[in-house]
Copies of this chain bind each other. A is one copy, B any other.
Amino acid sequence: MSCPVTATLGVIGGKWKPIILYCLTSGTKRFGELSVRIPTISGKVLTEQLKSLEEDGLVLRKQYKEIPPRVEYSLTEMGESLSPIFNQMEVWGNKHVLLKS
């Protein structure tokens, strides 16, 4: 594949990944915190997407051996490097969607 945008979308594209990644740009979050911030995603799907992001090296999963379980998700360096994309989305959304209504 020679198109860099297609390549990027292959990793961060889809219905849920961008929002999950964006949530993590404001710092480490537990599973439950992510669920609260993204209320429309089901637990099953959140688990699946986080696993996929971890496999792609964008998200770090840190599990504490406690009961009840505690798991923290954060961005890797590669995940952090996505921030310019989300910054631009933020700028655009403020200008073209939120200020419209």
CB distance from A77 to the nearest CB of B (A): 10
Closest 4 interchain pairs by CB? A4-B93, A8-B93, A7-B97, A7-B93
CB distance from A40 to the nearest CB of B (A): 10
Q: How many residues of A contact B (CB 8 A)?
A: 35
Alpha-carbon separation in the docked complex, A84 to B91 (Å): 10
Kindly identify, within residues 27 to 68 of chain A, every residue whose CB is under 8 Å from any CB belonging to chain B: none
Alpha-carbon separation in the docked complex, A22 to B84 (Å): 17
Interface string of A14-28 (1 = CB under 8 A from B): 110011001000000
Chain B residues positioned under 8 Å from A7 (CB to CB)? 93, 97-98
CB distance from A34 to the nearest CB of B (A): 14
